[in-house]
Amino acid sequence: MVDASSVTLPPGLSPASPLFLREDEVRRGIELLYFGYSHMIRGADAILERHGLGRAHHRALYFIARKPGLPVSDLLRLLSITKQSLSRVLAELVARGLVRNEVGALDRRQRLLRLTEAGIELEAELFEALRARVTEAYGRAGQAAVTGFWAVLMGLIPVEDRALVLSLETSRAG
């Protein structure tokens, strides 16, 4: 558990009430998530627009970059979209030379995804737009707040999906 006294809040933002499960506090958290996300993603949106791509393309690029050789089935679970939607997104990314499909070594029916050099470059540019904002916010909030934030976000992920999400961390560390 994060010690609230070790968290530095931005000016004008008061700490969560001891009654943090009340509707007003929950609504406040939902609003902050919504506005924080929309402000964080704006720089990436501008890059995507220049390339004629959307947020679904960005999410696919991001997760493929995080776990090269990612099976299509895992990407489908991570994105929580229909097979039809994912097929459309992947077809466009492949056609633009950003992603390539590989046949699995153990199971030839399995399709594994990797970024091409162009895909790596675009994903890095998109990541940089996000990294700058998140790094600044993390730095202002401090380690204890970041840990608490991660705990809240992990709590929003269904238990059955947490291992897949945690495997992204394992692949990065490995």
What is the predicted pLDDT for the residue at 17? 75
What is the predicted pLDDT for the residue at 104? 65
Q: How far apart are CA 167 and CA 172, in angstroms?
A: 9
Lowest mean pLDDT among 3-7, 81-85, 118-122, 163-167: 3-7
Q: How far apart are CA 41 and CA 130, in angstroms?
A: 6
Considering the domain boundaries, does residue 140 fall inside one?
no
Q: What is the dihedral of CA 112, 62, 96, 133, to 10 degrees?
A: -170
Domain with 76, as residue range(s), is: 22-130
The residue-averaged pLDDT of 6-17 equals 70
What is the predicted pLDDT for the residue at 113? 96
Looking at the predicted structure, is the pLDDT value of residue 6 above 70?
A: no
What is the predicted pLDDT for the residue at 103? 76
What is the predicted pLDDT for the residue at 174? 47
Number of domains in the chain: 1
The residue-averaged pLDDT of 103-114 equals 78
Buried b or exposed e, range 81-101, using 16+ CB within 10 angstroms: beeeebeebbebbeebebbee
What is the predicted pLDDT for the residue at 136? 94
Considering the domain boundaries, does residue 168 fall inside one?
no
User: Percentage of the chain with pLDDT > 90?
Assistant: 64
pTM as predicted: 0.82
Considering the domain boundaries, does residue 1 fall inside one?
no
Considering the domain boundaries, does residue 123 fall inside one?
yes
Q: How confident is the model at residue 2 (pLDDT cuts 50, 70, 90)?
A: low
What is the predicted pLDDT for the residue at 171? 58
Considering the domain boundaries, does residue 15 fall inside one?
no
CATH number where 88 lies? 1.10.10.10
Considering the domain boundaries, does residue 154 fall inside one?
no
What is the predicted pLDDT for the residue at 161? 86
Residue 25 token pair? 């506090």
